Homo-oligomer: A and B are copies of this chain.
């Protein structure tokens, strides 16, 4: 991940509704949630939600799937992991090679955001 992409992801999460939205999707797991359910849960008008969903999508943090008339959104754990990795790399004071300024994609950071398989999230 490079800076521009990280900024996009960071900016996508730096908003009350979108952070709540992403948290909701992370909690919902791989099955995701339809847009309508999210709007109802977060108590946000449909058009506003759509705007935020588009932002998150543009940042690559959510995936979109169709299921009948509904569009199902789910958290993109890979992108979130990439963001965490970027943040970790740019601190790089944890023990890894620190002097590395722009060694490209390292990817050596441990993946914290594993794909949460559905574990009883009935909501």
Contact = CB atoms under 8 A, between A and B. Distances in A.
A50 interface: no
A7 B3 contact: no
A115 B87 contact: no
Contact of A112 (B13, B23, B94): B94
Interface of A: 3-4, 6-7, 10-11, 13-16, 19-20, 22-23, 26-27, 29, 77, 80, 84, 87-88, 90-94, 98-99, 101, 112-116, 119-120
15 contacts: A6-B19, A7-B15, A10-B11, A10-B19, A11-B14, A14-B14, A23-B90, A26-B92, A77-B93, A92-B116, A93-B113, A93-B114, A93-B116, A94-B112, A99-B120
